[in-house]
């Protein structure tokens, strides 16, 4: 990023943080805010959340806007982030993106993803980890977290010395403080479950799962819990054979859903799209947005869990738009060089879009739209009980899934970030197979599973 751009972003952030007048619209900082808000800068002054996001953007390696040929009614930003710039002890350069209905929404989503990524890396000693005020607690409650819970998340026990009573001894700096999101109880859990440590990573699932940013600690926890619920539902569908339901036409045709998706597609007829309801026993709505090109090829997907089905459909569609764009990026790379230059993620895109066919049984609804008291079928853990606005943390607690949160918020950049862990849910992508997934697979032992043939991510 050019130095003059960094200065303009930093100045814009300062103006918003101070809650004073906006910068001169003819200057670089004012011009950027007008561009970001598409001219509607009223109300931006004093938005400290936006100020901090712009401050992060000023320190990114790259920040750029992308067009979405298959969904021109949406906005998209991409960025490259270097964790060491923000005090991480180690961490590879990462690429992130965000999509939104407005340019400002897409910017928030993209930079929020950057904050989530950099917060996953352990801070360097010179930049000590400082969680939000009030989060610090003594690591005395040794019964807070059990080894069984670590094993449920695939953490292999380390070889550590024992005390005279046979108990395992752990160094203080090898633990992090966590909070039970139902009881509020706090205590230690192994640091290996928290940080990305490339030299000795032992977790068999994606490190980014359950890491979320938000305007507050509680909001970040809800976002992270929703991601766990989404990935669990996707795994039970794609890897476990649990079929999806049809979406009620009353939901799809509501102006807030169909009207917005039509605007987002912007008249593009290059692809055919459809949805599945993947909601499981937790009752939190999970939607899959799927598409292929007009020849029935180049399969793409998007998933989302939200408090209600309409919101899940819209969020899943924005994820679908990102995957469709990623496929076009792979095409551009292939046009410039041969396949040997592609990275592992690019190759996953190629395999998925070439192998998955729209007539696969898993991609078709197996049941009618769900009703609040209708018994489902093909579900290893029982049907959901209701489908309305459902709080994810309450839904997890009701089904006896414990959710704990590690506060990853740092003084720099000062944006709330948490890592949530839910032992017992099936993470995805993961090599770990939980009893929950095993039970689901046992219901369809002879049917075959699409996840055994094709990885989605």
DSSP 378-443: S-TT---S--SS--HHHHHHHTT---EEEE---TTT--EEEEEE-TTS--SSBS---HHHHHHHHT
Check residues 328 and 340 and name the one with the higher pLDDT.
Answer: 328
Inform me whether the pLDDT recorded for 173 exceeds 90. Answer: no
Inform me whether the pLDDT recorded for 417 exceeds 80. Answer: yes
272-276, 314-318, 369-373, 380-384: the lowest-pLDDT one: 380-384
Inform me whether the pLDDT recorded for 168 exceeds 70. Answer: no
20-29, 190-199, 322-331, 371-380: the lowest-pLDDT one: 371-380
Q: From residue 133, how far is each of 124, 188, 219 by CA, in Å?
A: 20, 18, 16
Provide the residue count of the chain: 457
Averaged pLDDT of the chain: 88
User: What's the rounded mean pLDDT across residues 53-64?
Assistant: 97
Cβ–Cβ under 8 Å, residues 108 and 73: no
114 falls in which pLDDT band (50, 70, 90)? very high
Number of Cβ within 10 Å of residue 113's Cβ equals 23
167 falls in which pLDDT band (50, 70, 90)? very low
Query: Is 335 buried (19+), middle (13-18) or exposed (0-12) by CB count in 10 A?
Result: exposed
Nearest-angstrom CA–CA distance, 331 and 346 = 10
DSSP-assigned letters across all residues of 197-254: -GGG---SB-TTTTEEEESSHHHHHHHHHHHHHHHHHHHHHHTT-PPPBPPPHHHHTS
Segment 345-387, tens digit of pLDDT? 899 999 999 999 999 999 999 989 987 543 333 444 444 434 4
Check residues 139 and 80 and name the one with the higher pLDDT.
Answer: 80
For 325, the 3-state DSSP assignment is helix
Inform me whether the pLDDT recorded for 164 exceeds 80. Answer: no
pLDDT confidence of residue 297: 95
Quickly tell me which residue has 């807030």 as its tokens.
256
Inform me whether the pLDDT recorded for 134 exceeds 90. Answer: no
The residue among 349, 319, 379, 344 whose CA lies nearest residue 454 is 349
Nearest-angstrom CA–CA distance, 204 and 226 = 20
DSSP classification of residue 257: I
Percent of the chain with pLDDT over 70: 87
β partners of residue 75: 100
pTM over 0.95: no
Nearest-angstrom CA–CA distance, 123 and 120 = 9
Nearest-angstrom CA–CA distance, 440 and 275 = 22
138 falls in which pLDDT band (50, 70, 90)? low
Inform me whether the pLDDT recorded for 40 exceeds 80. Answer: yes
pLDDT confidence of residue 24: 85
For 92, the 3-state DSSP assignment is coil
pLDDT confidence of residue 45: 84
User: What's the rounded mean pLDDT across residues 214-232?
Assistant: 97
Cβ–Cβ under 8 Å, residues 232 and 240: no
Query: Is 377 buried (19+), middle (13-18) or exposed (0-12) by CB count in 10 A?
Result: exposed
The answer for residues whose C-beta is within 8 angstroms of residue 355's C-beta and 6 or more apart is: 453, 454
Inform me whether the pLDDT recorded for 160 exceeds 80. Answer: no
Inform me whether the pLDDT recorded for 61 exceeds 80. Answer: yes
Number of Cβ within 10 Å of residue 31's Cβ equals 15
Segment 429-454, tens digit of pLDDT? 999 999 999 999 999 876 689 999 99
pLDDT confidence of residue 218: 94
């Amino acid at each position: 990023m050019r130095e003059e751009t960094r200065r303009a972003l930093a100045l814009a952030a300062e103006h918003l943080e101070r809650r004073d007048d906006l910068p001169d619209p003819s200057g670089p900082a004012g011009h950027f805010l007008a561009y970001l808000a598409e001219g509607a800068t009223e109300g931006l002054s004093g938005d400290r959340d936006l100020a901090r996001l712009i401050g992060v953007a000023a320190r990114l390696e790259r920040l750029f806007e992308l067009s979405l040929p298959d969904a021109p009614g949406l906005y998209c930003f991409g960025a490259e982030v270097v964790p060491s710039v923000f005090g991480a002890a180690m961490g590879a350069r990462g690429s992130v993106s965000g999509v939104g209905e407005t340019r400002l929404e897409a910017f928030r989503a993209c930079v929020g993803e950057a904050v989530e990524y950099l917060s996953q890396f352990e801070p360097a000693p010179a930049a000590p980890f400082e969680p939000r005020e009030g989060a610090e607690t003594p690591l005395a409650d040794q019964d807070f977290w059990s080894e069984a819970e670590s094993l449920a998340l695939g953490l292999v026990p380390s070889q550590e010395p024992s005390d005279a009573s046979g108990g395992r001894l752990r160094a203080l700096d090898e633990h992090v403080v966590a909070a039970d999101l139902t009881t509020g109880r706090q205590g230690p859990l192994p640091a290996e479950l928290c940080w990305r440590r490339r030299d000795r990573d032992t977790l068999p699932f994606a490190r980014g799962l359950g890491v979320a940013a938000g305007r507050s600690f509680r909001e970040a926890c809800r976002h992270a819990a929703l991601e766990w619920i989404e990935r669990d539902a996707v795994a039970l569908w794609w890897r476990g054979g649990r079929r999806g339901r049809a979406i009620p036409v009353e939901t799809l045709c509501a102006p807030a859903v169909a009207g917005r998706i039509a605007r987002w597609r912007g008249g593009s007829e290059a692809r055919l799209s459809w949805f599945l309801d993947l909601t499981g026993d937790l009752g939190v709505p999970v939607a899959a947005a799927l598409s292929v090109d007009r020849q029935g090829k180049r399969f793409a997907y998007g998933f989302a869990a939200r408090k209600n089905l309409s919101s899940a459909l819209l969020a899943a569609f924005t994820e679908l738009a990102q995957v469709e764009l990623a496929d076009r990026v792979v095409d551009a790379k292939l046009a410039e060089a041969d396949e040997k230059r592609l990275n592992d993620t690019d190759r996953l895109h190629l395999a998925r879009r070439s192998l998955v066919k729209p007539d696969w049984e898993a991609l078709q609804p197996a049941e009618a739209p769900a009703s609040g008291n209708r018994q489902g079928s093909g579900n290893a853990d029982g049907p959901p009980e209701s489908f309305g606005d459902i709080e994810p943390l309450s839904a997890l607690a009701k089904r006896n899934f414990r959710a704990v949160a590690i506060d990853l918020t740092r003084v720099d950049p000062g944006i709330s970030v948490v890592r949530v862990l839910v032992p017992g849910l099936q993470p995805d992508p993961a090599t770990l197979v939980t009893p929950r997934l095993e039970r689901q697979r046992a219901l369809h032992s002879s049917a075959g599973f699409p996840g055994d043939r094709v990885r989605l991510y």
